[in-house]
Structure 1
Amino acid sequence: MEKRCHRQTEAGIAKCGHKQVSVVTSVNFRSIHAKATEYLPANQPEWSESQRSVREAIAKVCTKYPDEYWMERDNEHKFPWELYNDLAANGWLGICLPQKYGGSELGIAEAAVMLQTIAESGAGMNGASSVHMNIFGLEPVAKFGTEEQKERWLVPLIKGQERACFGVTEPNTGLDTLKLQSTAKRDGDHYILKGSKVFISTAQVAEKILILVRTTPLEDVKKPSQGLSLFYTDLNRSSVDITEIPKMGRSAVDTNSLFFEDWKVPASDLIGNEGDGFKMIMHGMNAERVLVGAEALGIGYAALRRASNYANERIVFGNPIGKNQGIQHPLAECWMNLEGARLMIYLAARLYDEGYADGEYANAGKFLASEAAFKAAERAILSHGGMGYAKEYHVERYLREATLSRIAPVSGEMIKNYIGQRVLGLPKSY
């Protein structure tokens, strides 16, 4: 496929899709703002035609949202409705969901390209996280829901008419999901939910929630994985207290604590059988790791691109600073780290789409991508010198957002525990 996005420095013009935009060729020190979307090449030779098509189409959408848009959304803590609605109007919110309900029925490999491209455009996690839940979150509904539930829930989600959040993590259990303390008790044709959740993204703007709670006490089940049930239901604000958590990055997308008591949820909102919720949630864990890794890759490439542009254009002592090996070599290493992580991420995505159920590649890809992205963002700041600390150059935002990918949805330390135990056969370390 022809590369649709490339820089022509002689003419001072860059092409992105069908759009031409000016590129700064005579740079003022205070105005080095290379627009990320001018440098989105479809240059991954191992990608399929569908992945390349997704890359090109999403890059074209992202040209409408320059870096300044994302800086404003981050500074003002405003959800990026314009991008969200744009993606909904073009049918992208259901990229992995069945065509029968309005989706595209593509794989996680294509979804990873979509989220990487959004993040790489300069949107970072502020952009990718705004649609993240749509991509994989309702897989339990698509795979385990009834026909009536799929029609009722998937269609409005894909159209962008309803938004959903994901409620699993709790304040006192963290990653120890099997010990969730939130409960649901059957009461006629309803369940009564009681408990709390934490680090719940987009709850401020969501109408629905996919929530995991315990329906059978832990002491009454043979295995801790039993007795957990999954519901997809209205986020009833008269029964649920939602409190936003101030945080260091990704401020355009809210993160929240939820407290609820006497929350009546229709029994018809239970997915599958009571007590089978954990295995439904586990089905999508590897996909989530792949997609978060892809988002991290996008941030890493965006940071590296800005650092390289700055190093080419910033003149000190008569030469561009990129001529110095102290600048050049760390950036080259960042590229190698990102490329290695990218290969692992897309290997994991392909294996997932082929039905491979184990998690070593998805976990490894997420770990490598988040580490590579963080190092690229850090090096971008250092390459900018003092200007890297200034918000107007955007790289400090990339570092704040790359930090999130090292923590969520699973920490690097837990990934190493997984690899040590499941791959290397070492004793469980926790």
Structure 2
Amino acid sequence: MSVLEKMSSAEAIALEDKYGAHNYHPLPVVLNRGEGVYVWDVEGKKYYDFLSAYSAVNQGHCHPKIVGAMVEQAQTLTLTSRAFYNDKLGVYEKYVTEYFGFDKVLPMNTGAEAVETALKICRKWAYEKKGINENEAQIIVCDGNFHGRTTTIISFSNDENARKNFGPYTAGFISIPYDDIDALEKAVNSSKNIAGFLVEPIQGEAGVYTPSEDFIKKAKAICEANNVLFIADEVQTGIARTGSLLAVCGNCSCENKCEKQATYTQPDILILGKALSGGAYPVSAVLANDAIMNVIKPGQHGSTFGGNPVAAAVAMAALDVVSDENLAQNARKLGNIFREEIGNYIKTSTIATLVRGKGLLNAIVINDTEESETAWNICMRLAEKGLLAKPTHGNIIRFAPPLVMTEAQLKDCIAIIIGTLKEFEK
């Protein structure tokens, strides 16, 4: 078959099945176009996208400002490596550090790379600044975490599907229950070798597990009191997804970028990815102040593609869109509507037991076991009705549309979701 020939969904799926590694289990929908909150399959069927590429497409599919910045830069200079300077990186570094209120940024490409980078910075800081003996630093993490799938990261995952038969595992991590301040305090005080606490402000892959309102603020206070670095993984929750610029902003009402209001908890190390590029290009970043970031010296960490000119141009355009189009405010408003209307339905439902989340990162818990196929079947039915979502942890469905969605579009989607759930009532 010529690459120019139009293929059917079945043909495209068969090609992936034959020639690609089977490391994903997608819904059987083959997409070939996207615009705003919509995507279309190869047969031309239109869908609402309620996954947003795991929150990478917060600014909507193919946003013209972001795509325009990418195309313009790609026609001029794409890659130099960091062996040389380029005229975009410094501009981007100034822009992004001022945008989020940090001294320095270390640019990378993917979320997992950024997490690995943060872990390395934390350990180096622990040895050179805190005085922990080399190779003895420990970093606290949370049960149910998802920070990526590299060898180091799966070493502190308790998802056996991600871990089993990938050992030996990397040492140096202590896992505690999520949203448990007493457990964190006990772990911090258990050893003089605690270097950092790595946490998601909301656990996305765990089913949009939203912690207590004061968990982040109390966790930062414990870390601060014990000279332990507070590391926030905002790869999925950041960039306006939860109704604030960052999830650690709490109930912040900043009109645009961070103004450090009373509800803001500044991490010692901030990890960003996904929507940092609006889904147009792999861009991630680790931000910290000089006292931490300056432990990294030439040759100690890097990436051939990290900080390339296209990534710099795309990220600045993506963050401009967040501010210019008030996406955090829109996510906050629409998220409240979503949870209220779904919550009202759930009061009398037998198929759905709970809706939770913040902003436009939400999940509905299905009344069945994790091993059941009910949530999958509901998502298949939703796709038939023109709405794409996907289960996580078997019996939980995550709903995370692009933040450019309008109230009218959201209400149309709520009607589709409730109508579909009613078909599965027991």
Shared topology, TM-score over 0.5? no
Higher relative contact order, structure no. (Cα contacts within 8 Å, ≥ 6 residues apart): 2
Normalization by structure 2: what TM-score? Answer: 0.25
TM-score with structure 1 setting the length: 0.25
